Structure 1
Amino acid sequence: MEKTIKSIALNFGIYLGVILSSATVIAYATNLELLTQPWLGITLFIAIIVLGIISIIKSKSALGGYISFKDAFTSYFITVLVGILINAVISVIIFNFIDPEAAITLKELVIEKSIDLMRSFNAPEDAIAEALTQMENSPSQFAIGSMIQSLLIQLVIYSVIGLIVSLIMKKTNEDL
């Protein structure tokens, strides 16, 4: 049974990785500014959670309609982990090896969006200047260290969501 859960989760993780990577590649190929749009981030966030939930549902079905909290979380976690790892690898390849200039351009776009957002909230100019200096001096978001840090933060966030979803989705067989 454990192998079934892991194989289902791995398959959905690959599907998720393809979806996330496709979004990254399409945005890279068409318009880098898409990667700074909140709607894209929200859409991908929802896609990650939905595929994690579908993975739990498929695992539950494969187990005869019952799934423990541990198995539900395992299914969700493997799906999310594999999906975001695939996207991270694709992003590192694109922005560190294929086109490092695109990473610089993307960083500039993020800085511009951040400054515009701060101004829209009437932030003091000295605070904006300080934030600008920090953003300009920060390493690329596609540097290996930054990517690892980002992956860990994402895993924590998605794990909390996964724990809640697993708690809701678990169903134990009362006859056993």
Structure 2
Amino acid sequence: MEEQQSPFQAAIKPGLTIGLVSLALTFIAYFIDSSLLGSAWFGLVAIVLFFVLIIYFGKQYRSELGGFMTFGTAFNFSFVTMVISGLVGVIGQLLLFHVVDPALPGVLADQAFETQLSFMEKIGQDPDALDPAMLEEMRASSSKGFTLSGQLMGFGFSLIVYAIIALILGAILKKRDKSLDY
């Protein structure tokens, strides 16, 4: 009889796969038009693809377990998959932002700053009425997210988001054996 993998072991391959797919999409978008990396729809497509792939791999793992999986197993599988995928993504983004195109973080930070200003206008606030020091602080905070420390800190905050998403995915992927209820 074949030995079953733990959720941690089973999550390694899907995590690497999802991370590499995410990284490939990032580089494809970069080569098409680097401004795509800062667009909302690109982020939305990436999140949907992320969910779909985790559910797909989670269902495969559940099948390997005999068609049933507890919430805890599903949570662990989902969380570890996302952490591995996130690590691959961070490493790839560090390479993109600091080796391939060191000017890209500045372009994306400017794009994020402009997006913030246009959002302020949409909700009725005039950005020109803001204190110039506050505008400069907004610009600096936009740039900070693309630094090495900013990306590592962002990954740390992502762990909290990954845990919340893993709770949702755990609820979706779990399936109990009702024949054991009797």
Query: TM-score normalised to the size of structure 2?
Result: 0.84
Partner of residue 82 from structure 1, selected from 84, 95, 98: 84
What is the CA-CA distance between 1:24 and the residue it aligns to?
A: 1.5
- The aligned residue for residue 69 of structure 1 is 71
**How many residues are treated as equivalent by the alignment?**
176
Question: How many angstroms apart in 1 are the aligned matches of 2:4 and 2:120?
Answer: 49
Describe the shift of the 1:25–1:61 C-alpha distance in structure 2 as closer, same or farther (beyond 3 A).
same
SS of the aligned residue for 2:125 comes to: coil
Which letter maps to 1:175? L
Q: Equivalent pairs: percent with the same residue?
A: 24
What are the residue-to-residue correspondences of 1:2-13 with 2, within 5 Å?
3=5, 5-13=7-15
Describe the shift of the 1:136–1:153 C-alpha distance in structure 2 as closer, same or farther (beyond 3 A).
same
Matched, 1:136 2:136: no
Which letter maps to 2:80? I
Structure 1 unmatched runs, 5+: none
Query: TM-score normalised to the size of structure 1?
Result: 0.87
What is the CA-CA distance between 1:129 and the residue it aligns to?
A: 4.7
Q: CA offsets, 1:115-140, max 9 Å, x none?
A: 12222222133348565312322353
Q: CA offsets, 1:50-106, max 9 Å, x none?
A: 222222211110000111112111111121111121111011111112321111112
Partner of residue 155 from structure 1, selected from 151, 159, 170: 159
Question: How many angstroms apart in 2 are the aligned matches of 1:128 and 1:59?
Answer: 54
Partner of residue 34 from structure 2, selected from 32, 35, 40: 32
Matched, 1:166 2:166: no
Answer yes or no: is the 8 Å Cα contact 1:21–1:86 preserved in 2.
yes
